[in-house]
Structure 1
Amino acid sequence: MKNITIADVAKHANVSKSTVSQYLNKRYDYMSEKTRKKIEETIKELNYQPNSVARSLKQKSTFTVGVVVANILHTFSTYIIRAIEDFFHEHDFQIIVCNADDEPEKERKYIEMLRAKQVDGILIFPTGGNLDLYEQMKDDEFPIVFMDRTIEHLGIDTVMLDNHLAARLAVDEFVRNGYSRIAIVTTSIIRNISPRVERIQGYRDALRSHGMEVNEAYIKTVDVGQISLALADLFQQTVPPQAILAGNDIVLVEVLKFMKENNKHIPKDVAVIGIDEVSFASFYTPSITTIAQPTKEMAKSAAERLLQQIRKEERPEELPIIQRFAPAMILRDSCAVK
């Protein structure tokens, strides 16, 4: 079968090739509704498939961006990916999603692969283990935006949560409900992953602001597989905690599993708040109080920053390198008044 070309579409629709090209690139400013309809019907009738390779060569763009997620199991990551995909779909871009599993070497391979495929830019949830690679991309003026995590001295555009405030909101709520022995559990901070480090610091600062001492035994940072052991250690303390702040959604799941397996009742035996909203929080028994991130707004900001770099648009003077979004408390029953 003959390959249908843009010239065939133009001839069949009785319009110029440039008009068809404008239609394909969604430039309808000076195009009548009748012409648009005629071209649309012709494309369907001829089963015309635009040549993406030719388009990429002509416009010097692959119309593709990469998204390298540190850990796709996080609910936050899934919500962000969906919102980013929606944004770029509206701008006629495709996305390639890669999951680094929090492994720097895997992240490196994905970044190198994406650059070899000549994607127009990359949005990264950095593992923190590839400083040389991040610096190289910046030196190359390659479009790059960090999401959720930052490495401040690199000066790379970053969109993330105000993690100090997230921890403070949780501690304030525990204190308001009469809890004084408050623990925090997060996943490993071996590579100083910023959200985890910042949430712990926010927790410390919030306790001190209430005149409470920080009990180091109540701070647990471990790999996911060790969370159950860390929780067991907390409850084996001479004076166990009355409340637990789960540092992210994965930790929250492990906390809830531990409570169920060890016949501990929330909030009667221990109050719980989780950072990151999860789908089951509202119908779990009891329903779980969470600190939610504004995922849609964060994703839009990150995607807009990346697109501005891709299009080489002038950076707005008021736009900070690191943009932090405020979290929101969703009050439910897991931190009831004692």
Structure 2
Amino acid sequence: MTIEKTTISDVAKYAKVSKSTVSQFLNERYEYMREETRERIEQAIEELNYQPNNVARSLKLKSTATIGVIVANILHSFSTQVIRAIEDTLNENDFSTIICNADDNPKKEKNYIETLLARQVDGLIVFPTSGNRELYKRLVDSNFPIVFVDRYVNGLNSDAVMLDNEKAIHMAIEHLLTNGYEDIAVLTTSIDTAVVPRVERVQGYKSAMKRFDLPIREAYIKSRDLPVLKKGIAELFKLEKPPQAIVSGNDLTLMEFLKYASEHDLKIGSDVGLVTIDEVNFMEIHNPPITTIAQPTFEMGEKAVELLLDKFDDSNQSEGAQIYRFDPSIIVRKSAEKAGVRI
């Protein structure tokens, strides 16, 4: 008869805390831990007869205590906010952070991966491009700790933290419909490289239109590289039936649309409705204030760190990759209101 060994996951579940909190307790990092939490963990360890793997943990602690973070495009407000959460959470756990910006360039991303590995970082948190699958596969197959954020790499046994992109688009479309808009277009950056959130947001747009019995007009879907996106927006408003409203796929496409609207005296909220994914600090002071589908950036960054730290516990054997989807929320302002129509 085999007796199953109590794991750190069991302790966390019993004490009703995260595994990273138990890890902090075991490493005597109590600075941000309430006395009640410490007592619950102590009780759980005693009652479950948990025996930490001190040798494995000491080997981990003997490491560089540094995590590499590679972001596909640091210009995204979402990326900056998540990185801040990652850095804060790692700092609380006594890890330093090296942050690298790949500029959506697989070659640059590959160079950063190799540089970080040469510096013997203990793990990677990556917003991946779509061009280094084999390199990531070698890392995952060798059990190197790695967690993906915002995107995942198909076919790899590695965890990922993402937004529920389809739900986000459905939320935006439903809000516009409630306010009297039906001819709705969507803007994203190019999907030619199959970047997961962009593809999922276009798919979400189509499924939302189908859900609400609205026609799917391919001319209303503009997925272009940023330098030529404005041309795509111009094509929308030259159509025989231009859209009444726009869903912007992220903060960068939003900026291109706002530039176009300003240059063509297109009044948001009266000439055209607007909802965007990603909360940016100027949304509230824009005229009119812009309705946003917000991502829980801090929670996503915190989760990415928790998943990575869990991989340092040899007793935590993963049964396969998991994609952790976070729910979006809507921040209603005035950019999607139509005269005479209110929620």
For normalisation by structure 1, the TM-score amounts to 0.82
Q: Are the counterparts in 2 of residues 170 and 245 from structure 1 also a CA contact under 8 Å?
A: yes
**C-alpha RMSD of the superposition:** 1.9
Choose which of 209, 212, 217 in structure 1 pairs with 2:211: 209
2:150, 2:77 → 1: CA distance? 13
1:112, 1:97 → 2: CA distance? 14
1:199, 1:68 → 2: CA distance? 23
Q: Which has the higher contact order (CA 8 A, sep 6+)?
A: 2
Structure 1 pair 133/71, CA: closer, same or farther in 2 (3 Å)? same
Q: Which one-letter code corresponds to 1:333 in the other structure?
A: K
Q: Hey, what does 2:125 align to over in structure 1?
A: 123
Structure 1 pair 27/159, CA: closer, same or farther in 2 (3 Å)? closer
Structure 1 pair 88/235, CA: closer, same or farther in 2 (3 Å)? same
2:135, 2:153 → 1: CA distance? 13
Alignment of 1:1-338 (within 5 A): 59-315=61-317, 321-338=322-339
**CA displacement 1:253-291 (0-9 Å, x = unmatched):** 111111011100011111111000110001100000000
1:302, 1:60 → 2: CA distance? 22
Q: Which one-letter code corresponds to 2:329 in the other structure?
A: A
Structure 1 pair 260/241, CA: closer, same or farther in 2 (3 Å)? same
SS at match of 1:106: helix
Q: Which one-letter code corresponds to 2:300 in the other structure?
A: M
Distance apart, 1:60 and its partner CA? 3.3
Q: Hey, what does 1:37 align to over in structure 2?
A: none
SS at match of 1:153: coil
SS at match of 1:310: coil
Aligned residue pairs, count: 287
Unaligned runs of 5+ in 1: 1-24, 30-55
**CA displacement 1:25-56 (0-9 Å, x = unmatched):** 75689xxxxxxxxxxxxxxxxxxxxxxxxxx9
**CA displacement 1:93-112 (0-9 Å, x = unmatched):** 00000000000000000001
For normalisation by structure 2, the TM-score amounts to 0.80
Q: Which has the larger radius of gyration?
A: 1
Structure 1 pair 230/320, CA: closer, same or farther in 2 (3 Å)? same
Distance apart, 1:139 and its partner CA? 1.0
1:141, 1:151 → 2: CA distance? 16
Q: Which one-letter code corresponds to 2:333 in the other structure?
A: R
Give the 4+ runs in structure 1 shifted more than 3 A: 25-29, 56-60
1:264, 1:313 → 2: CA distance? 59
Q: Which one-letter code corresponds to 2:310 in the other structure?
A: Q
Q: Are the counterparts in 2 of residues 66 and 121 from structure 1 also a CA contact under 8 Å?
A: yes
Distance apart, 1:155 and its partner CA? 2.4
2:29, 2:234 → 1: CA distance? 62
Distance apart, 1:217 and its partner CA? 0.3
SS at match of 1:155: coil
